[in-house]
Structure 1
Amino acid sequence: MPKIFKFTEFSLRDLIVTAGPMTVLIIAVCFIAYKLVDPAPPRQVTLSTGQENSAYDEFGKKYAEALKKFDINVTLKPSLGSQENLQRLNDPDSGIDIAFVQSGSTEHADAERRGLVSLGSLFTEPIWLFYRADRNIRELVQLKGKRVNVGPEGTGVPKLFKTLLSVNGIEAGDVKMGALENTPATVELVEGRIDALVFSSAPDALLIQMLLQTPGIKLFDFTQAEAYSRRFPYLSHVVLPRGIVDLGRDLPPKNYHLIAPTATLVARQDMHPALVDLFVQAAATIHGGAGWFRKQGEFPNASYTEIPVVAEAEKFYRAGPPFLQRYMPFWLANFFERMWVVIVALGALILPLSRILPPLYVWKVRSRVYRWYGQLRTVEQLIEEVPVDKRATVYPAQLRRLNEIEERVNQISIPLSFADELYRLRSNINLVRKRILGLSETKT
């Protein structure tokens, strides 16, 4: 390398030596803080959904697709329905992180005791009671003695349907209840081997779409829906509009009144806040549009749930996405949100360091020059009061030593801004040399 490149505006080597240890310390502190202060969200999460062809099953796939964009792998685990999902959440060994749960499935106090939190209500899932047209069922009391499939206990529908029967003065034993899953139960109804079936689901479910258009199958009209919603706070009164299924064929041929709990996303309270944010944002995209029973933007929300809503979800429904996530990629925004305490602390540390490091750098560069003054001082001390009989050997030896020092000094690489220090040293070397030569002439 040409010698000119040895002289620059600053010395990279000295800068590294001066700032290096402190930089390594800061990086180590940041790394430890990154691991200990609210660790990064897991890349794997398990979502408990529902039966095959159910709304929970279909929506679970949409959530998996939405979070895959952020490198989060969502494993879908089918279930019988809401009650089984709740049981899985209550079991720490089930491996379930989050699940669809129907409103009314548990009590507020019990949810708090078990450490469950809601991410909000997603959509209404009406109670669909389909029956064979020739049975002509107009009131629930007419179900006495009928064969009605209410699904397995894990769905949550049996409990709710028994409650509805009880307020109508019907004992559970008065109805022949079946426990088939939705798909085989639908086949049984169409074939005429049962009189009716009931399940709770969003209208997006394929079975709902099919049954609403199947000849010989009718939907029960809850004409007292408003009364049910007043008796049970977790139920709401919704209307299936005339013609919503098929306007050309006028399906359904009239408005149907239905009662509907809401589907909620429920997780354990230790779920990482970043994952909560992602699921809530995905929910806004998946469920935020208009539908058969909702207006644009009506869902998701923090209402219609007896399970406490987690703070991050409430904040999202009130003010939208977190500030940084509006302008940064998710992982970068999440990093700053988790590390803001460390960043503030580093700012407080770097400010005084910015005042200490420049003087240390200057001292480090100048020390490469100043240390030779010690050599010069040693030479001067050796020539002081030298006995006459030793001057002939001491003076030439010190002149040779000065030549060696000067040769070494000429090899020093130093920033141009400190060049005057180097030239001053060389001048002082020359002064000592002249002094020795002068003493040698005096001796002669």
Structure 2
Amino acid sequence: MKPVATVRDTLLSLRDLLVSVGPFALLALALLAAAYWWLDPNPPKRVVLATGPAQSAYDQIGQRYQRALAAHGIQVVLRPTDGSSANLALLREHKVDLGFVQGGSAEPQPEGEEGGLASLGSLFLEPVWVFYRAEVARRLPGKALTSPTQLTGLRVNVGTPGSGVPALVNRLLEANRMDPGALTLSRLDQTPATVAFLAGELDVIVFASAPESLLVQMLLMTPGVQLMDFAHSEAYARRMPFLSPVVLPRGVVDLARDQPPQDVRLVATTTSLLAQADTHPALVQLFTQAAREVHGSAGWFNRAGAFPTADHAEYPLAPEAERALRTGRPFLQRWLPFWIANLVERMWLALGIILAVLLPLSRVVPPLYAFRIRSRVFRWYGQLRDIEAQLAAPGADAAALIAELEALDTRVAGIQVPLAYTDELYALRQYIGAVRRRAAQPPAARALTGPAAAPTLATPANPT
């Protein structure tokens, strides 16, 4: 067989096969599209994360999340805020997708009232840092600040209302039966408060921040600035469940300079990453995986692997976050890009159902293909039988019928079918030849021979 003919026959077979499979393929694509629309497997490419004031620990940690998710094509827009309480308000108003919220910032509300917030886990400890100047210490009993009761009459900055620190300080004062009016309170942001503190305009400043905060690290190393030792840290933790007693070990800030010169007892809140309850599961998974990378190392107040954790949660833990905290990165994501692995992971059940539906239907394709090919040949049998019926009628015009048979044979000769079905084509041409020979006989002989014998229409076997 010539190469051109071989290519032509191959393309012909492929075309017929594609046409036969077409409805089946369209049904499969329609089912896949419906499953994709229903399951919505891929997360949005842009999310808003509420952080905190500039240069705060929340701001720095938010930037680390931003870089971690950018590797997966997710744009994390950082929303600067006054702090934890402001983040919680923005979450409840659905103005951000996620936010860092400090334990004890506000009482959790029922799900219907809070807009359905879910926790992605507790991320890190935020100690309450109470810094005071050395000249203030000289006026205190014992020359050191160890209890909020010693703050009476001092100029104390407790931060902006949106930071959550004012509410925390009020709880500490209330626990010590102190009237906030006994203090000269100010509510400056962290940076201007630090400037005023170092200038001597404030006696005490209160932060509730992770040790990664640049301002906290700077104040810990500043000569003449001391850190309050919470003598009753255990008692505060027992009375306020959102607080934990922690110890800043001696020398952990700077071993060479022995900073701090002794262990300092502190109380700390636990900061969680909260999200809307309807946040896309794949996005929850990505943020939880990023949390393991960002917060999994050892810190001043925890050992490696202690965070993130499901402990200390004041809000329900998102199911996807719980799974990510328990099992880590899914198996497919260890070997495939996130978008592919996530698509397979969230679509596999739907794919199984679609295959279960389509496999029985796929049995229709071979008979449909065979019918399409054979119909090209068999549809001419109707015209051939009409000619044969006219030939059997009295006074038939044999010459005209023979000319019609010649035209029919010419058209049939131009039919193209795959090699496996050529016997069907040749059977038709033999039938035409038999009728043509009968038409060429005299009328008397034509009546004696009778109709031409039709070839068999059984499904042919593939040629060897």
Q: What TM-score do the two structures reach when normalised by structure 1?
A: 0.93
Corresponding position of 1:132 = 133
The structural deviation recorded for 1:111 is: 5.2
Q: Do 1:99 and 1:266's aligned partners in 2 also have CA atoms closer than 8 Å?
A: yes
Q: CA distance change for structure 1 residues 362 and 53 in 2, over 3 Å: closer, same or farther?
A: same
Q: Do 2:24 and 2:362's aligned partners in 1 also have CA atoms closer than 8 Å?
A: no
Alignment of 1:296-315 (within 5 A): 296-315=304-323
Q: Residue 425 of structure 2 is aligned with which of 413, 422, 425?
A: 422
Q: Do 1:9 and 1:417's aligned partners in 2 also have CA atoms closer than 8 Å?
A: no
Corresponding position of 1:206 = 214
Q: CA distance change for structure 1 residues 271 and 205 in 2, over 3 Å: closer, same or farther?
A: same
SS at 1:308 equivalent: coil
Q: Do 1:189 and 1:197's aligned partners in 2 also have CA atoms closer than 8 Å?
A: yes
The structural deviation recorded for 1:169 is: 2.5
AA partner of residue 118 (structure 2): V
Q: Do 1:108 and 1:308's aligned partners in 2 also have CA atoms closer than 8 Å?
A: no
**Cα separation, 1, equivalents of 2:175 and 2:372:** 88
Corresponding position of 1:120 = 121
Q: Do 2:41 and 2:343's aligned partners in 1 also have CA atoms closer than 8 Å?
A: no
Name structure 1 gaps, 5 residues minimum: none
Q: Do 2:41 and 2:342's aligned partners in 1 also have CA atoms closer than 8 Å?
A: no
Corresponding position of 1:413 = 416
Corresponding position of 1:318 = 326
Aligned residues: 436
The structural deviation recorded for 1:337 is: 3.6
The structural deviation recorded for 1:177 is: 1.1
Q: Do 1:6 and 1:413's aligned partners in 2 also have CA atoms closer than 8 Å?
A: no
The structural deviation recorded for 1:107 is: 3.0
Alignment of 1:189-228 (within 5 A): 189-228=197-236
The structural deviation recorded for 1:289 is: 0.9
Corresponding position of 1:73 = 75
Q: CA distance change for structure 1 residues 108 and 324 in 2, over 3 Å: closer, same or farther?
A: farther
Q: Do 1:125 and 1:261's aligned partners in 2 also have CA atoms closer than 8 Å?
A: yes
Q: CA distance change for structure 1 residues 270 and 83 in 2, over 3 Å: closer, same or farther?
A: same
**Cα separation, 2, equivalents of 1:132 and 1:251:** 16
Corresponding position of 2:188 = 180
Corresponding position of 1:84 = 86
Deviations 1:240-259 (A, max 9, x none): 11111111111111111111
AA partner of residue 405 (structure 1): L
Deviations 1:343-366 (A, max 9, x none): 233212211122111111111111
Q: Residue 66 of structure 2 is aligned with which of 53, 64, 67?
A: 64
**Cα separation, 1, equivalents of 2:226 and 2:31:** 67
AA partner of residue 76 (structure 1): L
The structural deviation recorded for 1:328 is: 2.8
Q: CA distance change for structure 1 residues 363 and 439 in 2, over 3 Å: closer, same or farther?
A: farther
**Cα separation, 1, equivalents of 2:220 and 2:401:** 111
Name structure 2 gaps, 5 residues minimum: 138-144, 447-464
SS at 1:8 equivalent: helix
Q: Do 2:31 and 2:354's aligned partners in 1 also have CA atoms closer than 8 Å?
A: no
The structural deviation recorded for 1:223 is: 2.3
Q: CA distance change for structure 1 residues 350 and 439 in 2, over 3 Å: closer, same or farther?
A: farther
AA partner of residue 96 (structure 2): I
**Cα separation, 1, equivalents of 2:112 and 2:301:** 30
Q: Do 2:28 and 2:358's aligned partners in 1 also have CA atoms closer than 8 Å?
A: no
**How large is the RMSD of aligned CA atoms in angstroms?**
1.9
**Cα separation, 2, equivalents of 1:351 and 1:110:** 48
**Cα separation, 2, equivalents of 1:12 and 1:260:** 71
The structural deviation recorded for 1:109 is: 4.3
SS at 1:127 equivalent: strand
The structural deviation recorded for 1:37 is: 3.2
Instruction: Say if 2:105 is the partner of 1:102.
Output: no
The structural deviation recorded for 1:83 is: 0.6
Instruction: Say if 2:39 is the partner of 1:31.
Output: no
Q: Residue 50 of structure 1 is aligned with which of 17, 40, 52?
A: 52
Q: Do 1:84 and 1:155's aligned partners in 2 also have CA atoms closer than 8 Å?
A: yes
**Cα separation, 2, equivalents of 1:16 and 1:283:** 49
Deviations 1:167-221 (A, max 9, x none): 2232111111110011111111111111110010110010011001000001111
The structural deviation recorded for 1:108 is: 4.0
Q: Do 2:402 and 2:436's aligned partners in 1 also have CA atoms closer than 8 Å?
A: yes
Q: CA distance change for structure 1 residues 400 and 6 in 2, over 3 Å: closer, same or farther?
A: farther
Corresponding position of 1:170 = 178
Q: Do 1:8 and 1:416's aligned partners in 2 also have CA atoms closer than 8 Å?
A: no
Q: Do 1:281 and 1:321's aligned partners in 2 also have CA atoms closer than 8 Å?
A: yes
Greater displacement, 314-323 / 154-163: 314-323
Corresponding position of 2:460 = none
Deviations 1:215-243 (A, max 9, x none): 00011111221221111111111111111
Alignment of 1:392-411 (within 5 A): 394-411=397-414
**Cα separation, 2, equivalents of 1:438 and 1:6:** 40
AA partner of residue 245 (structure 1): V
Corresponding position of 2:238 = 230
Q: Do 2:120 and 2:272's aligned partners in 1 also have CA atoms closer than 8 Å?
A: yes
The structural deviation recorded for 1:418 is: 1.1
Q: What TM-score do the two structures reach when normalised by structure 2?
A: 0.89
**Cα separation, 2, equivalents of 1:108 and 1:311:** 19
**Cα separation, 2, equivalents of 1:4 and 1:208:** 80
SS at 1:199 equivalent: strand
The structural deviation recorded for 1:9 is: 8.9
